[in-house]
């Protein structure tokens, strides 16, 4: 299952997206990056069925994302850049309404909302009106709301922009869980650490897709994007994630030899710790 954009162009007085052709795969975290104004939010809006492409199509499992109304398909959940929370409702109510809108009974919705807030370590803020929360707290409420519905397609627009490093790690771990249960997870981001935690990376510039970095490419040391990520990473980056070499007995002498384990190194490199 995947979410595909097939030659998507979007024109509103000028061309905001130009012949974008890409695939977001289920079970993967995909980063979408590019300069401010390059079209990331516009792309997510078309990918999620909020906006109709001028030409080309967005589809999930073969079904068009655009339903003719601007309402997303039930498989889709957004974490919006501007949060989209109702200021006068409590944090719990903001999450609960997303569940009730999908037919969950109020008592069950409240219980699941509580659990979703706990995933982002803000269960104690459940009764607080959203307008009394900080930007980072609101962002985590928006994440709780976006992730509580077990969507098959999760589209998150700069979900870590207001967060400190610890909470960013927490959010990445939660997004990874969504991918691990089989969801398509797309994260528009400016943050190199978020890009590095993803499996796949698309780069937009002035509405055009200018780069597509698949998992294997991220491990090419000389790749320019790799160097940018390394330079932007915190100093302890290598110490924290560098995989240990392992030893295996060599045949037929039985002498131990060093062997590389690229698959394990890959997993250790990209997957954030769930302890943070």
Ligand X SMILES: Nc1ncnc2c1ncn2[C@@H]1O[C@H](COP(=O)(O)OP(=O)(O)OP(=O)(O)O)[C@@H](O)[C@H]1O
Task: Report strand pairing: 153-157 vs 76-79.
Answer: parallel
Task: Tell which one of 7, 11, 21, 37 touches ligand X (CB under 6 A).
Answer: 37
Determine, following the binding rule CB under 6 A, whether residue 11 of this chain makes contact with ligand X: no
Distance CA 71, CA 88 (A): 24
Shortest reach from residue 11's CB to ligand X, in Å: 10
Shortest reach from residue 156's CB to ligand X, in Å: 12
Shortest reach from residue 63's CB to ligand X, in Å: 24
Task: Tell which one of 20, 22, 42, 60 touches ligand X (CB under 6 A).
Answer: 42
Distance CA 217, CA 201 (A): 10
Shortest reach from residue 223's CB to ligand X, in Å: 23
**Residue 266, token pair as written in the block:** 């890959």
Determine, following the binding rule CB under 6 A, whether residue 33 of this chain makes contact with ligand X: no
Determine, following the binding rule CB under 6 A, whether residue 146 of this chain makes contact with ligand X: no
DSSP letters, 130-186, are GGGS-HHHHHHHHHHHHHTT--SEEEEESTTTT--HHHHHHHHHHHHHHHHTT-EEE
Size of the site for ligand X (CB under 6 A): 11
Looking at the Cβ atoms of 202 and 269, the one nearer to ligand X is 202
* Burial call 128-159: b when 16+ CB within 10 Å, e when fewer: eebeebeeebbbbbbbbbbbbbebbbbbbbbb
Determine, following the binding rule CB under 6 A, whether residue 195 of this chain makes contact with ligand X: no
Looking at the Cβ atoms of 39 and 49, the one nearer to ligand X is 39
Determine, following the binding rule CB under 6 A, whether residue 139 of this chain makes contact with ligand X: no
Distance CA 110, CA 12 (A): 41
> Which residues touch 117 (CB under 8 Å, ≥6 apart)?
91, 92, 95, 123, 125, 126, 140, 141, 144
Looking at the Cβ atoms of 16 and 151, the one nearer to ligand X is 16
Looking at the Cβ atoms of 94 and 189, the one nearer to ligand X is 189
DSSP state for residue 65 in the 8-state scheme: S
Shortest reach from residue 169's CB to ligand X, in Å: 22
Task: Tell which one of 34, 72, 146, 169 touches ligand X (CB under 6 A).
Answer: 34
Shortest reach from residue 188's CB to ligand X, in Å: 6
Distance CA 86, CA 91 (A): 9
- Specify which residues 248 forms β-bridges with: 257
Shortest reach from residue 162's CB to ligand X, in Å: 14
Determine, following the binding rule CB under 6 A, whether residue 84 of this chain makes contact with ligand X: no
Contact residues toward ligand X (CB under 6 A) are 12-13, 16, 34, 36-42
């Amino acid at each position: 299952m995947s979410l595909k954009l097939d030659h998507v162009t979007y024109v509103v007085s000028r061309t905001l997206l130009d012949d974008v052709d890409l695939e977001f795969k289920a079970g993967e975290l995909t980063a979408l990056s590019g300069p401010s104004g390059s079209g990331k939010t516009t792309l997510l809006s078309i990918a999620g069925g909020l906006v109709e492409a001028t030409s080309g199509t967005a589809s999930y499992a073969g079904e068009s994302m655009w339903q003719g109304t601007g309402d997303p398909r039930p498989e889709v959940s957004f974490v919006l850049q501007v949060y989209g929370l109702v200021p006068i409702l409590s944090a719990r109510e903001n999450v609960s309404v997303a569940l009730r809108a999908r037919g969950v009974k109020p008592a069950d919705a409240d219980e699941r909302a509580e659990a979703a807030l706990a995933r982002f370590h803000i269960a104690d803020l459940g009764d607080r009106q959203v307008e009394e929360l900080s930007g980072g707290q609101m962002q985590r409420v928006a994440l709780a709301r976006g992730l509580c519905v077990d969507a098959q397609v999760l589209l998150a627009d700069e979900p870590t922009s207001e967060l400190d490093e610890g909470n960013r790690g927490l959010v990445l771990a939660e997004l990874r869980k969504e991918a691990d249960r089989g969801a398509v997870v797309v994260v528009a981001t400016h943050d190199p650490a978020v890009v590095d935690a993803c499996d796949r990376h698309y780069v937009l510039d002035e509405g055009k897709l200018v780069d597509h970095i698949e998992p294997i490419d991220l491990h090419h040391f000389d790749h320019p994007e790799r160097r940018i990520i390394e330079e932007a990473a915190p100093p302890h980056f290598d110490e924290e994630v560098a995989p240990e070499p392992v030893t295996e007995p060599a045949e037929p002498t039985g002498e131990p030899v060093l062997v590389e384990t690229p698959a394990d190194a890959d997993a250790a490199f990209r997957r954030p710790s769930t302890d943070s």
